[in-house]
Amino acid sequence: MRSILRLVMSVALPALLFTTAPAQAASCPTLLNRTFNDLQDNKPQNLCQYAGKVILVVNTASHCGFSPQERGLQALLDKYGPRGFVVLGFPSNDFHQELDDPTQIVSFSRTTYGASFPLFAPSHVTGADANPFFAALIRASGTSPKWNFYKYLIGRDGRVIAAYSSLTSPDNADLNAAIVRALAQRP
């Protein structure tokens, strides 16, 4: 009996694992199939965990005049999060306004603006050194961040819907309407 169980487990378990892996890969849009370290604990986070959600990607910087937008970004998350929306923050010093210490970035964001949305390790978001996610966002949208707090809205299907300048505040009616439309769609 044990030898039969062992045989079944030796054949069935690898087959089960083999068949579920491609299904998981297929459910993650190419744009999101990337890994970045979480800023708080420096552990790798695959963006596939956000597949099927409406995502607002923002390049952040602590010393930017637009950094109060973090409060508004958190308000968007609070308002639309239960419906499948998330904000992802990517700190960057491309415009020379970000803190050097990652723990200070998290602390500043959390204590100053009450932001609890995910923040990832600082990286480049423009030019030849742009991280692969932002490089893909730039290709898909046809526009790159001109300054901090540039925003990309991604639909549930993992495709870029629109890009918004730093001047577009989180309470902007057009941005909110686009989020609501995107939330109504199914992947």
Say whether 89 sits in a helix, a strand or coil: strand
- Provide the residue count of the chain: 187
- Residue 51: partners with Cβ closer than 8 Å, 6 or more residues away: 27, 28, 29, 32, 158, 187
Q: Helix (H, G, I), strand (E, B), or coil: what is residue 86?
A: strand
Collapsing DSSP states into helix, strand and coil, what is residue 182?
helix
Give the DSSP H or E segment for 79.
helix 69-80
Q: Which of 28, 64, 105, 136 is catalytic?
A: 64
Judge whether 48 counts as a catalytic residue.
Answer: no
Whether 160 and 140 have beta carbons less than 8 Å apart is answered as yes
User: Which residues are known to be catalytic?
Assistant: 64
